[in-house]
A and B are shown apart, each in its own frame.
Chain A
Amino acid sequence: MADIIADMYSIDIRLFEVTASGRTVAGNVERYKDNRAVIMVRSQQTEDMLRFVSVKELCHIMLDEEDDWSSDAIATIREMKVEFDLAKTNGDGVLNPSRTQMSEYLALVAAVALMYPCEFHAADKAKVESGEKSIAKIALEHGMPGWAIELAFNHEHIFNRYNGI
């Protein structure tokens, strides 16, 4: 995936696993004006999280437009700390999400869609609801965290828009 993105977007990408303490940061991606990106993933995470974080950070390189860019880490964190759920159907999501929030949400959705293609969602969800299959088993099949499978199920109105594209 990194090779394809590097080619498509003419960008040099380096991906590192970093051994560092801390529970709140799973990883990050930095983009530089000389067309290079550095991705850091905190190593003390499960294999499925390491994979998911890497894919999600790579998605930022594909999806973020220049208008989304900011090197102000403090402002970015402050915006991310706001509880948000752009896809909530009950009306209590963020009404006017910032570009940072949109960027995070889109990268998350794209990572889920890449690792767990939409055509699996409906059948798997039915099996989970009938007790035939567990979230953990589906997560294992796709090599991704269970919460990301749940995210796919809970936001099916978003993923359904892209099913079959």
Chain B
Amino acid sequence: MDTVKSAKQLLAERFETKTAAGLVDVKFFLRGAGEATTDEVYEDLNNLYEAFERGDYVEIKHASPSAA
């Protein structure tokens, strides 16, 4: 039995977890997606999230509403 998850399954599971944690909306900025397969987009998104989870990021801005 093949237990290797597809990029789509991985992404779907990732977003099930996020939704349970309070996610209400997600939007993507895709470039060249017209020429790419959906699987390639799923893989690139999984790569993005995995990099973020590894800490491969720099926080550029944190904006909070000022106290009224």
Residues of A within 8 A of B (CB): 2-3, 5-7, 9-34, 40-43, 53-54, 56-57, 60, 64, 68-74, 76-78, 80-81, 83, 100, 103-104, 107
Contact = CB atoms under 8 A, between A and B. Distances in A.
A71 B18 contact: yes
B58 A30 contact: no
Given A17-B60, A64-B27, 18 more contacts: A7-B66, A12-B62, A15-B60, A18-B48, A18-B51, A18-B56, A19-B57, A22-B43, A23-B32, A24-B30, A40-B57, A69-B24, A71-B15, A73-B12, A74-B15, A77-B42, A80-B28, A81-B38
Contacts of A30: 18, 23, 25-26
B63 interface: yes
Contacts of A23: 31-32, 36, 44
Interface in B11-68: 11-12, 14-15, 18-19, 21-34, 36, 38, 40-45, 47-48, 50-52, 56-66
The A interface is mostly helix, strand or loop, or mixed, namely mixed
Residue of A18, A24, A27, A28 ringed by the most chain B CB atoms within 10 A = A24
Contacts of A10: 65
B14 to A, nearest CB: 8
A24 B59 contact: no
Given A16-B57, A83-B34, A72 B15 contact: yes
Given A3-B63, A19-B56, A32-B23, A77 B51 contact: no
28 contacts: A3-B63, A6-B64, A13-B61, A13-B63, A14-B62, A15-B62, A18-B48, A20-B47, A20-B48, A23-B44, A24-B31, A25-B45, A28-B27, A28-B29, A28-B45, A30-B18, A56-B29, A57-B29, A64-B25, A68-B25, A70-B25, A74-B42, A76-B26, A76-B27, A77-B30, A80-B30, A81-B30, A103-B27
